[in-house]
Chains A and B, each alone.
Chain A
Amino acid sequence: QSVLTQPPSASGTPGQRVTISCSGSSSNIGRNTVNWYQQLPGTAPKLLIYSNHQRPSGVPDRFSGSQSGTSASLAISGLQSEDEADYYCAAWDDGLHGPVFGGGTKLTVL
């Protein structure tokens, strides 16, 4: 049972826009910024979005993040086949004194 709640799956067709939600509480997302990680099949996770909406160098601007209250979301526009991956949200939790992750969302490009 993950502290942050994500839908287990999401899907879209090439070119579509999809969003993935991440729900938390006042001890994590409500007080701290959210990071998103992308894990392509068989590989290590990679930082995709940090501080709610910032993109590391090299991440396409098709990926965007937002946060409001105790929830956050990741949006992917112009969906491409190479976006098929697992996506995880994460945030520091003041009560647990460590970062907590969502359970992950498996994105399928139809």
Chain B
Amino acid sequence: EVQLVESGGGLVKPGGSLRLSCAASGFTFSNAWMTWVRQAPGKGLEWVGRIKSKTDGGTTDYAAPVKGRFTISRDDSTNTLYLQMDSLKTEDTAVYYCTTDLSSMLDSWGQGTLLSVSS
């Protein structure tokens, strides 16, 4: 059974940094493309970015609102996905989900972790 467990959320001041983690199990993580999606309180879903598998180049893509501030990485030895978030803004406040990504079909989701950016 695929399991994705996010962690690392919390309260951060504007301009601060935080790193989210996503522990994966139940599938061959190293072969998977992975995506982060966020959902602001009471709002819809928003794509944050994705990372390809190393065999497919391991490259990353980001949504315009986070490009240059967020970095997605992966550790295939520990089956963990990361989202490093710098220069945080209040509008980054959201629940962050990690998902498996099969040609942009997001077929498995974690339970999410909440990031609050506030002074």
Chain A positions within 8 Å of B, measured between CB atoms, are 2, 32, 35, 37, 43-47, 50-51, 56, 88, 90-92, 96-104
Chain A, interface SS category: strand
**Chain B: interface residue total (CB-CB under 8 A):** 22
Residues on the B chain within 8 Å of A103, using CB: 44
Contact of A45 (CB < 8 Å), options: B45, B61, B64: B45
Chain B positions within 8 Å of A, measured between CB atoms, are 35, 37, 44-47, 49-50, 61-64, 97, 104-112
Name the 4 nearest CB pairs between A and B, nearest first: A104-B44, A44-B109, A101-B45, A50-B105
Residues on the A chain within 8 Å of B62, using CB: 98
Q: Are A45 and B47 in contact (CB under 8 A)?
A: no
Q: Are B97 and A44 in contact (CB under 8 A)?
A: yes
Q: Are B111 and A37 in contact (CB under 8 A)?
A: no
Q: Are A88 and B110 in contact (CB under 8 A)?
A: no
Told that A44-B97, A98-B61, A101-B44 touch, could you supply 18 new A-B pairs with CB distance under 8 A? A32-B104, A35-B106, A37-B106, A45-B37, A45-B109, A46-B109, A56-B107, A88-B45, A90-B104, A92-B104, A98-B62, A99-B35, A99-B104, A99-B106, A100-B47, A102-B44, A103-B44, A104-B45
Q: Are B61 and A97 in contact (CB under 8 A)?
A: yes
Q: How far is the CB of B67 from chain A (nearest CB, A)?
A: 10
